[in-house]
Amino acid sequence: MILEKERKQIITFSLKMLNDNLTNGTAGNISIFNKEKQLVAISPTGIPYDLLTPQDISIVDLNGNLIEGKAPSSELEMHLIFYRNRKEINSVIHGHTKYSTAIACLQKPLPAIDYMIALTGNFEVPCAPYASYGTKELGDNCFKTMGDGKACLLANHGITTVGENIESAYNILSQVEYIANLYILSKSIGEPIILDKYEIFNMIERFKNYGNK
């Protein structure tokens, strides 16, 4: 069984995403790119997270050809576009998070009401134009809107985050959902103050060295 480590990581983080209320049912998907083998491990379509086995995890090449496992997630193209074009990215997570998706339903970006938004590499989390799930258009919209950042809302759909590893991509997903929750709560009692973009860019630079001392 190839990419055994990646398969197990996908199951671990799929269950974590479910238990942390960052998705529901079989919604959402996770992938990991193995650069050495030039293969992608991705969660399969339609199987509940708590029933996943390592053998179920789909293994595909960068052209989307199935190598092993069950049929891959319908959002495969949204994952592959990042691995083909951003060499620093090794994991992609797509979630149907409650608060981030609520903001995505407004088709507006999530602003910087908390400095931790800097983890996304941008001064806001942009929102990609709507496209039907599983389409190339959705993947293209997500990729173009995210730019060099690491998070993007998907209009009337959900959120996608990327990272150099699965831990990073998951942390960004979790932090963005927390900030989205704060934004909705603060809007209910007043008008939240948006941090200056220069402060956020300063935080982005500081985070690059965080934990290295």
Catalytic residues: 75
Chain centre to alpha carbon of residue 202: 23
Burial of residue 205, with CB atoms counted within 10 A of its CB: 0-12 exposed, 13-18 middle, 19 or more buried: exposed
Burial of residue 55, with CB atoms counted within 10 A of its CB: 0-12 exposed, 13-18 middle, 19 or more buried: exposed
Contact 168, 185 (CB under 8 A): no
d(CA 54, CA 35): 20
d(CA 106, CA 197): 22
DSSP-derived letter for residue 74 is T
φ, ψ at 106 (rounded to 5°) = -85, -10
d(CA 151, CA 192): 21
d(CA 173, CA 29): 12
